[in-house]
Structure 1
Amino acid sequence: MVLLSDVVAVSGEVAATSSRKAKTSALAGLLRRLERSEVAPATALLAGELPGGRAGVGWSTLSAVRAEPAAEPQLTIAAVAAAIGEVREISGPGSGQRRTEALTRLLSRATEAEQSFLVRLFGGELRQGALEGVVVEAIAAASGVRSEAVRRAFMLSGRLPATAEAALLGGESALAEFHLELGRPIRPMLASPAETLDAALAGDGERSVEYKLDGARIQVHRDGDEVRVYTRTLREITRNVGELVELVRGLRCRSVVLDGETLALDDAGRPRPFQETMARFGAQEQRAELLHPYFFDCLHLDGTDLLDRPLRDRLEALESVAAQHRIPGALSPSPERAAALFDDALAGGHEGVVVKDLDSPYAAGRRGKAWRKVKPEHTLDLVVLAAEWGHGRRRGYLSNLHLGARDPDGGPPIMVGKTFKGLTDELLAWQTAEFQHLATGGDEWTVQVSPDLVVEIELDGVQTSPRYPGEVALRFARVLRYRPDKDAAEADTIEAVRGMLRGE
């Protein structure tokens, strides 16, 4: 039987080293010791997640809990999972007080180190998206299966604990049982940035070039008349996007899974601001803005899964079922035609283009070079680490943002700069209120927040700097917008930031 103290010790060991190999070894060592019933909840804890998902506990509730720590470790993994489940089930009148009481009971059974771990767990401080990749490698090492098999099962299931159970209890044959299931979203394939169009087009093989829209990623599943729509973070938004549901229900097929973007257009056919598209995802009532889909991939069609087929085959399937809704682009264009597409995309109010290898399979969650995005300005998706109280006309508002890049080896985000530029009055008011809900600490000058919020930053470039831990600093950084459609696991890595020094 594994205790929570064992998880806390390994978590501390992982946080204390920068070596990916050492992190993987420490995690795999604990995974090998788990009993069958412990695999799923322990994997969640090791990845910095609450077993079973969010529990509706905020920092205001956590700050109200007072419990003397236990003298000796006694909490088992099963007991922790059960207690978290109890907190999750609390609802209705007086739920705040009852959550506080349940948390107090849990924390009173925990040692001081375990209390610190649990508070950070509930507060989201342990949830580092980059750690998922290290845990995937640890699952492979502990179970003796190929990391590619674990990665694929995670792509298809979207659930790390379920993937760990399959690998550790059933091996590669159990992992092979995961398949694309209609109505269960899979993790999306991602594009890595390229400095220039020529760089993205370089290399052997044929390419497609498509518009990069200033929209929101969607994944659509249809099974007969049943249609479901998901965001890039796998959140279902079906009831909020009725026009997309009706459109997909009208396609000439029995079943389909489509990957694409959606956005609201103005009367001239140009994209509306990104925030208006995102507002539709959370709308509880009918909105005037209609969403238009632009699909760029087909992952399943009429009973046939296409994930492992080359992109050229998936595009043929897409053309056969949704030709009128395909994203603008061209297959194997000449350099001149590719440049014209890039110019046309910008002229239409879009962000640029995406260059894709026509021989590539669909590899979810990877930022390799099979898909390369090209934009005219430098942008990075970074996480917010903290914000400073403003001065002058910004007095009373949280203004100057501390920005971090993702550590690809599963460590905490690495600070690469600050900025207060580009923040509108509306954004200042929003982040001042939101950050105080997400606060994890601070002082009279600064509020620290859990590193969950992704913000898109425009910059002139980066430069070497000893001022920040990553030894690089952003030049003339400006806030473009927050990205509620992305989570911290999709933020750009410190390597991507450093790559801008080399013009990669």
Structure 2
Amino acid sequence: MRTVLLHHVVGTSAAVGATRSRKEKSAALAALLNLAGPEEVAPATAWLAGEPRQGRIGTGWRTLSGLAGAPAAEPTLAVAQVDSLLTELAGTSGAGSARRRRELLSSLFGAATEEEQAFLVRLLTGELRQGALEGVMLDAIAAAAEVPAAVVRRAFMLSGRLPETAALALSEGAAGLEGVRLEVGRPVRPMLAGPGSSLDAALESLGEEVTVEYKLDGARIQVHRSGEEVRVWTRTLREVTEGVPELVARVRALPCTAAVLDGETLALDDDGRPRKFQDTMSRFGSEGSEEVLLSPFFFDLLHLDGRDLLDEPLATRLDALAGLLAEPAQAPLRMPGVRRPTPDQAADVLDGALSAGHEGVVVKALDAPYAAGRRGKSWQKVKPVHTLDLVVLGAEWGYGRRTGTLSNIHLGARDPDGGPPIMVGKTFKGMTDELLAWQTKEFPGHAVHDDGHVVEMRPELVVEIALDGAQRSVRYPGGVALRFARVLRYRPDKTPAEADTIDAIRALL
């Protein structure tokens, strides 16, 4: 078996980024995985999915860009060699670590070709968006290992790690994947809700056998208990146990020996209303403040005292959860909602959620098992859509499939005091190929500067943006940033003087 080089991964990444076809992406990824040896599958999978196997290594763009000096003439870096170096880099700390880290990075970049250097910078700074999303990579793993995609997806959900799932699939096939089981103490990939266009549409889609629950503006948590040990993970499977002792205490008090709970947590004010999203998220930072207490709200139960519930219908899981939280002292831990509501009752749940300061509701099919990701329509979230008219301040030249187009736009809100627009965020979401082509043709006519990366523009164009809300930000001068912004349309009927103000965005806090 030939040694797979970093060069091969870079070439595959470029091929994946150059096509819109899911089939072609999957085929390119599968071809590389079939070339890889046992020690190469996991790191190659991780890189093509957009991050090192070791996670973040604490090296920023400024440091890395300074290392990208004279490139190597020929590709020689092997995948296993680069992975080993990144492992050493991630584990380097203490006295003299800065010098040693620079030596390691210098040796890596010195042996890399120009294309490999560019790939490594984007990989190590989290900016590698070549199109190998989780779903595509899972399809590629299934194709390379010649196993059913459903078996790969389930093993991935239960193991929580894409590189390890790929390595197991390529080495042990379907039998190895089917041997993966839920383990208390190892987080499961969370099941996610897809967007519902409206409450009526979600109810019509899923029928009468549903539950309608509050959708909180909080942080997703998964909590595992085994005896007196309790561990807590976020939606991205980052462990935060040490930072949330109040959540640990609440779960440790439950009348069980072992459990895996799924839910949300958020900070509430003295009136029981949600505090700002940043107040909740501050507890998950490196310097979280315990002055902000978190309240948990559980909506699913995946394991209870030796019984796995993943494959049971949601109705059975909710019955088990209700039994676990039956004591009056545990009642506040339940996510508010109504099972099998009439349309009027469902509307009341939505109204109640919004009146209490929450985002909306989630409509869930009671016959659905637990499955990771947004596949299917078993869970649909319904919440009001905020829209704003904002000024385009600039745009970034794209890469990958968007190379040669002006893509990520910089957005500004009107200063009510008459000053220049105030930047509040960026977005490349919601852009069709037609819109990208229009932007690339139109924007240069409004440009004041182009450094090859960002085109700065006169504030002349107004765009309508949909967003989920706003949050405090130290990154932008107005102290506020958009949450999950996406382009709806441009507004040639509006001038920048008619754009929404920074005060309108602050009001969304």
Same fold, TM-score > 0.5, yes or no = yes
Instruction: Answer yes or no: is 1:404 the counterpart of 2:428.
Output: yes
**Matching residue of 1:306:** 309
User: Shift of the alpha carbon at 1:251?
Assistant: 0.4
- How do 1:359-378 and structure 2 match up within 5 A? 359-378=367-386
**Matching residue of 1:444:** none
Q: 2:166 aligns with which of 164, 167, 170?
A: 164
Q: 1:307-344, CA deviations, whole angstroms, 9 ceiling, x for partnerless residues? A: 11100000011011124121111111111111111112
Task: Classify the secondary structure of the residue corresponding to 2:363.
Answer: strand
**Matching residue of 1:429:** 474
Give the aligned CA root-mean-square deviation in angstroms: 3.8
Task: Classify the secondary structure of the residue corresponding to 2:303.
Answer: strand
User: Shift of the alpha carbon at 1:92?
Assistant: 2.6
Instruction: Answer yes or no: is 1:456 the counterpart of 2:456.
Output: no
**Matching residue of 1:8:** 10
Q: 1:294 to 1:120 in 2, by over 3 A?
A: same
Q: 2:53 aligns with which of 23, 29, 51?
A: 51
User: Shift of the alpha carbon at 1:60?
Assistant: 2.1
User: Shift of the alpha carbon at 1:66?
Assistant: 4.4
Q: 1:261 aligns with which of 230, 248, 264?
A: 264
Q: In the alignment, is the contact (CA less than 8 A) between 1:155 and 1:187 conserved in 2?
A: yes
**Matching residue of 2:361:** 353
- How do 1:82-121 and structure 2 match up within 5 A? 82-121=84-123
Q: 1:386 to 1:429 in 2, by over 3 A?
A: farther
Q: 1:482 to 1:246 in 2, by over 3 A?
A: farther
User: Shift of the alpha carbon at 1:63?
Assistant: 2.3
Aligned partners of 1:419, 1:463: CA distance in 2, in Å?
5
Q: In the alignment, is the contact (CA less than 8 A) between 1:183 and 1:228 conserved in 2?
A: yes
**Matching residue of 1:488:** none
Q: 1:250 aligns with which of 245, 249, 253?
A: 253
Instruction: Answer yes or no: is 1:215 the counterpart of 2:260.
Output: no
Q: 1:72 to 1:389 in 2, by over 3 A?
A: farther
Aligned partners of 1:428, 1:396: CA distance in 2, in Å?
19
Q: In the alignment, is the contact (CA less than 8 A) between 1:397 and 1:428 conserved in 2?
A: no
User: Shift of the alpha carbon at 1:403?
Assistant: 0.6
User: Shift of the alpha carbon at 1:288?
Assistant: 3.0
Q: 1:346-366, CA deviations, whole angstroms, 9 ceiling, x for partnerless residues? A: 222222211100000111112
Instruction: Answer yes or no: is 1:280 the counterpart of 2:283.
Output: yes
Aligned partners of 2:119, 2:255: CA distance in 1, in Å?
52
**Matching residue of 1:19:** 21
Partner AA of 1:347 in structure 2: S
Q: 1:16 to 1:130 in 2, by over 3 A?
A: closer
**Matching residue of 2:447:** none
TM-score by length of 1: 0.80
**Matching residue of 2:65:** 63
Q: 1:228 aligns with which of 228, 231, 234?
A: 231
Task: Classify the secondary structure of the residue corresponding to 1:202.
Answer: helix
Aligned length: 449
Q: 1:50 to 1:379 in 2, by over 3 A?
A: farther
Aligned partners of 2:484, 2:507: CA distance in 1, in Å?
5
Which one has more relative contact order, counting CA pairs under 8 Å at least 6 apart?
1
Partner AA of 2:374 in structure 1: R
Q: 1:220-243, CA deviations, whole angstroms, 9 ceiling, x for partnerless residues? A: 110000001111111111111111
**Matching residue of 1:492:** none
Q: In the alignment, is the contact (CA less than 8 A) between 1:205 and 1:358 conserved in 2?
A: no
Partner AA of 1:15 in structure 2: G
Partner AA of 2:488 in structure 1: V
Instruction: Answer yes or no: is 1:75 the counterpart of 2:77.
Output: yes
Instruction: Answer yes or no: is 1:344 the counterpart of 2:352.
Output: yes
Q: 1:123-182, CA deviations, whole angstroms, 9 ceiling, x for partnerless residues? A: 222156862211110000011111111111111111111000111110111111222111
Aligned partners of 2:371, 2:387: CA distance in 1, in Å?
24
Runs of 5+ consecutive residues of structure 2 not aligned to the other structure: 389-406, 441-461, 493-498
Aligned partners of 1:177, 1:379: CA distance in 2, in Å?
47
Task: Classify the secondary structure of the residue corresponding to 1:362.
Answer: coil
Aligned partners of 1:130, 1:481: CA distance in 2, in Å?
37
Task: Classify the secondary structure of the residue corresponding to 1:257.
Answer: strand
Aligned partners of 1:233, 1:161: CA distance in 2, in Å?
15
Aligned partners of 2:102, 2:478: CA distance in 1, in Å?
23
Q: 1:90 to 1:164 in 2, by over 3 A?
A: same
Q: 1:174 to 1:67 in 2, by over 3 A?
A: same
**Matching residue of 1:502:** none
Q: In the alignment, is the contact (CA less than 8 A) between 1:265 and 1:271 conserved in 2?
A: yes
Bigger Rg over Cα? 2
Task: Classify the secondary structure of the residue corresponding to 2:20.
Answer: coil
Kindly, what percent of the aligned residue pairs are identical? 52
